[in-house]
Chain A
Amino acid sequence: MSSLDTTNAVARRPFPGRRARFGDVLLQGVAGLAALGATFLVGLIVYKIVQGSKLSLSTFGLGFVTHIAWNPVAGHLDFGAGAFLFGTAVTSVGALILATPLALAVALFLSELSPNWLRGPVTALVETLAAIPSVLIGLWGILVLGPFLLNHVDPALHSALGFIPLFGPATYASNVFTAIVVLTIMILPIIASISRELFLGVPGELKEGALALGLTRWEMVRGVVFPYARGGVAAAMILGFGRAIGEAIAVQQVIGGFTGTHLLWNLFSPGDTIGSKIAANYQGSQTGLELSSLVYLALILLVFSLIVNVVAQVIVRRSARRLGTSA
């Protein structure tokens, strides 16, 4: 807390001594209403989702979360989230593993290494990548990326790493790995642009000091920039992770889709995530129980996202505290 900080009371009324003006009251009213509305909306969404999943909740209970089954045919009705939860975890963790080093490299290049004339255009392009609608990336995934991976990348990975069950033989262009790459492309700009801001925020004196001590650029980055930005980078990763968990359309376009009756350990086989399953089947469900089970999937996704958010905040706070004590 510095002496420049003002107390709340003063901040709310910029001209002490004068009565609150109509405009200020209105502003407070409008802003407050908007904030209240947003909170109310979240509450409403949670309420509707819980209500919608009631039938499935009472039929399957909490066992639904890990139960591996999805049979919407009357007489065979059996639903569970297990396979889709697994698919969501595999795709989003996979995307995070691929995207993080790439994003950090992009951010480092833009903040520390790039020549000045290149910095602007490349930054703008990376941010444009984040603005491409997911349905377009999905379409590109179907038409270009999927066949390319199938013909060139998947077989190479299979022959090099085939001893690990995850890298089995590839038969289809629509598979979990294609979805991972699509998600990587989608979350890379998020992690990269936040990290770039963080790296730029590292005080110049620290960096110059490190260089003056005779450290190489890489040693400076490792010893000064990374530790300084660690908490923020972790939060950026989790933001990207959150995006990957929830992405439905682009994933559904390239992941193939399967029935959810078993776990798929081969990255090169088609799969499904919670988001893609909801997107695929919400419109056509034939029974109330299937619809309710799809809403139950949404509930799981909501809880999952909430946990991710909370974890991100905890990490940011903890690293801020650590930074505070060390400085």
Chain B
Amino acid sequence: MPRSGIVRFTLALATVALVAALAVGAAGASSAKRTNGSVSGAGSTFVAPLVSLWINAVSSIGINFSYSAIGSGGGVAAITNKQVDLGMSDAPLTQFSPTCTTCVQIPWALAGTAVMYRLDGVKNHLHLTGQVLAKIYMGQITNWSDPAIAALNSGVNLPNKAITVVHRSDSSGTSYNFTDFLSHVSSAWKSQVGTGTAVAWPAGIGGKGSSGVSSLVHSTNGGIGYADAEYAHKAHLAMFSMKNRAGKFVFANLKSIKAASVLDTKPAADGSLSIVNPPKSSKYANAYPICTYTYVDVQKSSGNAATLKKFLNWAITTGQTYGPKIFFVPLPASVVKFDKKQIAKIK
């Protein structure tokens, strides 16, 4: 009888659906109940390559670490609403509204942003200053043969070629680092555009993610874009040597990013720490000027404090050794010391 067959089939289907729903519900309930050795985090995609290396590593010290790279804004929202143990953000908490007022902010990783370009027929590594870069990104310098670029690259035969400016179309910590740098070196940029994970770009086109930016630069003769140092190195594109305040032109690599982190200054009381465009000093002679700390934000009062402290103390020490092969420079001792004090505030 086909009709009762259909009924039976529907019944079976409904049963399966019901069982599945119950199972999902039960799974949800059990994961909500926090077991002692687990840490959940969400946020920055910038720090994701480093953090994903940690997931396996911390399981050996008995911590079950999970992480979703949902973006800095999402990370701050998640920690503010206590949906996760750790919120990860490339911009300091003060940049967000609403923000987490009951959190400690811990700078826990350090990386740099490289400026890439494609200019066919020019073999040399071109030099650039932040001021000229700002003018390019504001659409005021539009040709490679512009005297401002030529003056920095004497002896190089620059072609009469339009500059194609490429920026991120999505919100990103790399953009935060990049615009923070431009705001530091150009008052016009600071007042007209400003600093942020996304800004109202005065010129150019957008690409999604570092891959989108680098593929646009790759396919456009005359293109300029930016990406985190690891991505830029992997993309096999030419990179500018950027002039630092000590007057030297430096290339984004581990050594120059490390040089930028040798700080006299300690993090601010709230834990924020900007190291773009380090001061003019022989100490920073080899410092790359576009570097940034990225932060982990934790609620001061947490039911999971013991595990969190264990994890964070591991992350700022042993965890740092995983960094160099993906262009994350280990934290300098002064910052580790500061971070330990911050971690101690978690109760």
Contact = CB atoms under 8 A, between A and B. Distances in A.
B171 A281 contact: yes
A104 interface: no
A32 B3 CA distance: 18
A256 B164 contact: no
Nearest to A288: B98
A9 interface: no
A269 B165 CA distance: 13
Contact of B73 (A26, A173, A291): A291
Give the contact-size bracket for chain A: 35 or more
Given A73-B196, A74-B95, A174 B205 contact: yes
B207 A174 contact: yes
Nearest to A72: B198
B74 A74 contact: no
B289 interface: no
B207 A256 contact: yes
Nearest to B94: A74
B197 A257 contact: no
Contacts of A260: 200
A73 B200 contact: yes
B216 A74 contact: no
A152 interface: no
B60 interface: no
A272 B206 CA distance: 10
A76 interface: yes
Contacts of A286: 72-73, 91, 95-97, 171, 196-198
Interface in B237-282: none
Given A286-B91, A288-B97, A281 B212 contact: no
B169 interface: yes
A258 B216 CA distance: 14
A61 interface: no
B15 to A, nearest CB: 10
Contact of B196 (A72, A257, A258): A72
A284 B194 contact: no
Nearest to A173: B219
B170 interface: yes
Contact of A23 (B11, B73, B98, B171): B11
Interface centre among B72, B96, B162, B198 (most CB of A within 10 A): B198
Interface string B186-207: 0000000111111111100111
In this complex, which of A71, A76, A279, A286 has the most chain B Cβ atoms within 10 angstroms of its Cβ? A286
A300 B10 CA distance: 38
A238 B122 CA distance: 51
A284 B14 contact: no
Contacts of B205: 172, 174, 256-258, 269-270
Contact of B206 (A72, A173, A257, A289): A257
Contacts of B207: 174, 256-257
A27 interface: yes
B172 A284 contact: yes
Task: State the 7 A-B residue pairs at the shortest beta-carbon distance, nearest first.
Answer: A284-B171, A257-B169, A257-B206, A283-B71, A23-B7, A73-B194, A270-B205
